[in-house]
Amino acid sequence: MTDIKMICASVPLIPVLTIEDVDHAVPLAQALATAGLSVLEITLRTETALDAIEAVRAACPDAIVGAGTLRTPEDLSRCVAAGAQFGVSPGAPERLMDAVDASALPFLPGCASPTEVMRLADRGYRVLKFFPAEAAGGVRMLKSLAEPLSGIVFCPTGGVTIDNARDYLALPNVVTVGGSWVAPKALTKSEDWKGIENLARQAVAHLTQ
């Protein structure tokens, strides 16, 4: 998939993964993909993130592997070199967005206000990450943006949980949600991949019923 909207729309939830041990990357990705969550965001919050992206790309051909927490053009270049199939940022600074515009990488830029949405729309972006979703107004904020900023859809991330995800997905301007709850640190650390797979299956069933 080369279109960010198609990537987002293919799953109800994009797991946001912070991988500290590169040996966990492939079994974690396989557990999530087996459960139906084949679009993964591996954040650049650890020194192992780029190696994790490379490992998952090599071992999980059915997964769509993105890089998250991109902040600079240098981050973008490193993620493309590692094989990331899409990028995600918490915000949209000009230097980063200029680099994204010059690249072919599908991208989900972050925003938290109507002005930021409009600036990104002016650059041609119609699919945005709403972050930090709960702190920035949550469901009520996105509902308020639907009519005045029609044609823009969002992936809310930040404070999204199994308890409120369906409220977000019910909005006409939400295409998917991002969350980390399907890969809790305790289960990852104990290498309970079956437990993570079961948790992901429950999430998919809950969000698509």
What pLDDT, in 10s, does the model give residues 137-189? Answer: 999 999 999 999 999 999 999 999 999 999 999 999 999 999 999 999 999 99
pLDDT in tens, 78-103: 999 999 999 999 999 999 999 999 99
Q: Which residues does residue 86 pair with via DSSP β-bridges, in sequence order?
A: 66
Domain range holding 108?
4-204
What CATH number is attached to the domain comprising 128? 3.20.20.70
Distance CA(193)–CA(70), nearest Å, equals: 27
What string of DSSP letters covers 97-136?
HHHHHHS---EE-EE-SHHHHHHHHHTT--EEEETTTTTT
Distance CA(9)–CA(176), nearest Å, equals: 6
Mean pLDDT within 47-67 = 97
- Let me know if residue 194 belongs to a domain: yes
- Let me know if residue 209 belongs to a domain: no
Name residues whose C-beta falls within 8 Å of residue 8's C-beta, 6 or more positions apart in sequence.
14, 39, 108, 127, 153, 155, 175, 176
Number of domains present in the structure of the chain: 1
- Let me know if residue 180 belongs to a domain: yes
Please identify which of the residues 74, 129, 185, 197 carries the catalytic annotation.
129
* pLDDT (0 to 100) of residue 1: 47
Tell me the CA distances in angstroms from 99 to 41, 104, 108, one per residue in order.
20, 10, 13
Please identify which of the residues 41, 94, 143, 194 carries the catalytic annotation.
41
- Residue 20 catalytic? no
* pLDDT (0 to 100) of residue 7: 98
Residue type, 66: G
Distance CA(187)–CA(51), nearest Å, equals: 21
- Let me know if residue 42 belongs to a domain: yes
DSSP letter at 157?
A: B
Cβ pair 47, 18 in contact under 8 A: no
pLDDT in tens, 109-142: 999 999 999 999 999 999 999 999 999 999 999 9
* pLDDT (0 to 100) of residue 161: 97
* pLDDT (0 to 100) of residue 209: 87
- Residue 54 catalytic? no
* pLDDT (0 to 100) of residue 45: 97
- Let me know if residue 66 belongs to a domain: yes
* pLDDT (0 to 100) of residue 177: 98
> Residue-wise over 132-141: b if at least 16 C-beta within 10 A, else e?
bbbebbbbeb
- Let me know if residue 22 belongs to a domain: yes
User: pTM of the predicted model, to two decimals?
Assistant: 0.97
